[in-house]
Amino acid sequence: MGFDLRLEQKLSQSLVMTPRLQQAIKLLQYNAVELVNHVQEAMLENPTLEAVPETAGDANAEEMRELRDRATKEKAELTEQRNGDESSIDWEKFIGQMNDGPRGASMSGGTIHDDLPPIETNLTYGESLADHLVFQLKMLRLGEDEGRVADLIVHNLDARGYLEASLQDLADETQVDLETAEEALELVQGLDPLGVGARDLAECLVLQAAHHFPEDDILPRILQDHLHDLERRNYQSIGRALGLELEDVVEYHKMIQEQLEPRPGRGFTVDEPRYITPDIYVAHRNGEWSVELNEDGLPDLRVSRYYQKILREASKQDQEYLLDKLRGAEFLIKSINKRRKTIRKVMESILKFQRDFFDKGASGLRPLVLQDVADDVGVHMSTVSRVTTNKYVHTPHGTYELKYFFSAAVRQTSGLDMAAEAIRDRIKQLVAAEDPRKPMSDSAIAKSLKGEGVSVARRTVAKYREQLGILPSSKRKRLF
Most confident of the following: 44-58, 124-138, 366-380, 459-473: 366-380
Nearest-angstrom CA–CA distance, 478 and 480: 6
The answer on 186 and 137 residing in a single domain is yes
| 242-295 tens-digit pLDDT | 999 999 999 999 999 999 999 999 888 656 667 888 999 999 888 899 999 998
The answer on 207 and 182 residing in a single domain is no
How many folded domains does the chain comprise?
4
**Domain stop point among 181, 197, 213:** 197
The answer on 255 and 228 residing in a single domain is yes
Q: What is the CATH number of the domain that holds 453?
A: 1.10.10.60
- Asked whether residue 8 is domain-assigned, the answer is no
- Asked whether residue 43 is domain-assigned, the answer is no
**Domain stop point among 182, 197, 212:** 197
The answer on 207 and 192 residing in a single domain is no
Q: What's this model's pTM, rounded to 2 decimal places? A: 0.63
- Asked whether residue 114 is domain-assigned, the answer is no
pLDDT of res. 91: 46
Average pLDDT over residues 106-134: 62
| 73-91 tens-digit pLDDT | 665 665 555 554 544 445 4
pLDDT of res. 437: 83
The answer on 400 and 301 residing in a single domain is yes
The answer on 216 and 182 residing in a single domain is no
Question: 106-128 b/e with 16+ CB inside 10 Å = b?
Answer: eeeeeeeeeeeeeeeeeeeeeee
Question: For residue 193, is the peptide bond before it cis, meaning its omega torsion is within 30 degrees of 0?
Answer: yes
pLDDT of res. 154: 94
Query: Three-state SS string across the chain, please?
Result: CCCCCCCCCCCCCCCCCCHHHHHHHHHHHCCHHHHHHHHHHHHHHCCCEEECCCCCCCHHHHHHHHHHHHHHHHHHHHHHHCCCCCCCCCHHHHHHHHHHCCCCCECCECCCCCCCCCHHHHCCCCCCHHHHHHHHHHCCCCCHHHHHHHHHHHCCECCCCCECCCHHHHHHHHCCCHHHHHHHHHHHHCCCCCCCCCCCHHHHHHHHHHHHCCCCCHHHHHHHHCHHHHHCCCHHHHHHHHCCCHHHHHHHHHHHHHHCCCCCCHHHCCCCCCCCCCCEEEEEECCEEEEEECCCCCCCEEECHHHHHHCCCCCHHHHHHHHHHHHHHHHHHHHHHHHHHHHHHHHHHHHHHCHHHHHHCHHHCCCECHHHHHHHHCCCHHHHHHHHCCCEEEECCEEEEHHHHCECEEECCCCCEEEHHHHHHHHHHHHHCCECCECCCHHHHHHHHHHCCCCCCHHHHHHHHHHCCCCCHHHHCCCC
Q: What is the CATH number of the domain that holds 135?
A: 1.10.10.1330
The answer on 355 and 340 residing in a single domain is yes
- Asked whether residue 325 is domain-assigned, the answer is yes
pLDDT of res. 323: 87
Lowest mean pLDDT among 48-57, 127-136, 229-238: 48-57
Average pLDDT over residues 429-442: 88
- Asked whether residue 276 is domain-assigned, the answer is no
The answer on 396 and 344 residing in a single domain is yes
**Domain stop point among 405, 429, 454:** 405
- Asked whether residue 63 is domain-assigned, the answer is no
Q: Has residue 159 got a pLDDT over 50?
A: yes
pLDDT of res. 313: 79
Q: Which domain holds residue 464?
A: 410-476
The answer on 386 and 323 residing in a single domain is yes
- Asked whether residue 26 is domain-assigned, the answer is no
Q: Has residue 160 got a pLDDT over 70?
A: yes
Give, to the nearest 10 degrees, the angle between helix 235-242 and helix 246-259: 110
Confidence class for position 15, pLDDT limits 50, 70, 90: low
- CA nearest 354: which of 366, 369, 372? 366
The answer on 434 and 379 residing in a single domain is no
Average pLDDT over residues 36-54: 88
Nearest-angstrom CA–CA distance, 304 and 308: 7
The answer on 431 and 344 residing in a single domain is no
- Asked whether residue 333 is domain-assigned, the answer is yes
**Rounded mean pLDDT of the chain?**
82
| 348-361 tens-digit pLDDT | 999 999 999 999 88
The answer on 398 and 300 residing in a single domain is yes
| 123-154 tens-digit pLDDT | 555 678 999 999 999 888 888 899 999 999 99
Nearest-angstrom CA–CA distance, 270 and 124: 12
